[in-house]
Amino acid sequence: MRRSDLVTKAVFWCIILLGLIDRAHLLQITIGYASDDLTVVWMAARDYANGIFHEPFFYGQDYGVMLEALLAAPFVHFGADPIVVVPVVMAFLAMMPYWSFAFFQYIRSKPASATLIAAIPILLPVEHGLQFTNLNGLAILAVYPWVAGMQVSVRRSALIGAVLAAAAFVNMNASVTVAAFGTLFLINHAKDRIHWLWAVCGALPVLLLWWWSMQFHTIRGEHLVHTVFDWRMVFHPELIPEALTRLDAHFAWLCPLWWPNGHLVLWLLGIVMVALFRLGRKSAAWAILAALLTIFFSFGFAKIHDGTSSILFPLSRMFLAVPLLLGWSLAQLEPYGRIRPYLVPIIGVASVITFSLRYEQALSVWAKTLTYPEGAPIHMREISKVRLECKTLMRYAQETSAELLVVIRNPNVGEAFFMNMGCPVCEPGLPSTYMPGGDWRAWRVREESSMSRQRILVVGGDPAIWANAMNGPFDVQVTGTGKPLAHMVTGADLPVDTLMLRLGFTVGR
């Protein structure tokens, strides 16, 4: 083996190690915090671990498969804490597609391409690594190179169709790469279109599952809390020029090396596309063009404009697949001609520099994010404080022999959501929880709409309303005056929503 090949392989494994250290460091910083959305994934992981599947998507939504919860479920089943397992799984999902594409190149004796792809996550800004939303669709794409690398056959075609459909089904932000790889497949098999049919056959089971999942919520539409299949998914061409004026916001933290201007990743893709055309690798070039056109036309949908400048809810979450596409695109330029002897050392040095910068900046960036959420509609809390409040609720419930714990949305809807969804996971012995007018679990809404309870522990609410309620017709006793505020309502014999209205609380969304 040539000395240069040994150096290339050594750099590759060093970058893999840097990626592991980097991901572990970011996980150490963020694992002590949770978003309100994350509590839903906790609960889903616990439900899946017990063989309970209430809804096909993220609870209360008609989109967003909780792949993280599915992968965490086996560990939870054997006793692991979902609050710990879920973020670990999410950290793994963040790296899995890059490592998968990289290892595929590595075993095909293309260590330079493998090194380049493996380095992409480290060459990105630390803000990219700290965000933990919408990674699941990209994780499905980790399967793609291994399927596409199979010998040409009808089985391969069917599997490619299934993988690409599954990636889009799990999360639509994978659509950019799905468009690229789908176009690549169509062009490569243009002379033998029977493979097109087999790809459709492979995608069909996934598409039928998608259709059934949508029908599940169509039938139960009155309990749907949030959807994107409304005005957000209506095409408005006038939105395209607006997006073009703020490309850096839409592609924030998605460009390797040059961090201030994320939109430069589009220019990089364009340059690679032109280079591939000149090299005669037209299939890959057309694939990149298909991805760029998908991005361009996606700007016409309001959903693409739904986001903030915070890593908690960034605009760029819609295009998280772009760095992966860039890595794949650069790999198509192999063997890199005259720059090959210098490419891997440059990648290695750059990775060490950016790794050091990410390591140094991570804590301060995370602290700033928590302090200034930039209008993100996401509530973040320290898990230790959530656990403490949940222990307090558990004690109240035991002292009062409560059969139901009702959480009032006011005065703090974020804290209420954590208690409603997070406390049953923190304290498995807690009575059932329910949030009138704000519960994302359709089955709980249906249950409480017809069930009368005798001993209800109510958490939160305006103290002034409680003062009036204690002088009303119901037996109301103060259980806790601190945080959380809690009252025991006994013998009302009414459905919860009706009782809350009688007490003076608003139950509408």
DSSP label of 313: S
pLDDT tens per residue across span 42-85: 999 999 999 999 999 999 998 999 999 999 999 999 999 999 99
Confirm whether pTM is higher than 0.85: yes
Q: Is the pLDDT of residue 480 over 80?
A: yes
Cα Rg, the chain, nearest whole Å? 25
pLDDT tens per residue across span 245-287: 999 999 999 999 999 999 999 999 999 999 999 999 999 999 9
Q: Domain boundaries in the chain?
A: 3-371, 383-503
Tokens 């035991």 map to which residue? 398
Average pLDDT of the chain is: 93
Q: How far apart are CA 242 and CA 299, in angstroms?
A: 8
Task: Using the CB atoms, write b or e for 348-365: b if 16+ within 10 Å.
Answer: beebeebbeebeeebeeb
- pLDDT for position 509: 61
Report the candidate in 364, 383, 378, 237 with the shortest Cα–Cα distance to residue 297: 237
Classified as helix, coil or strand, 407 is strand
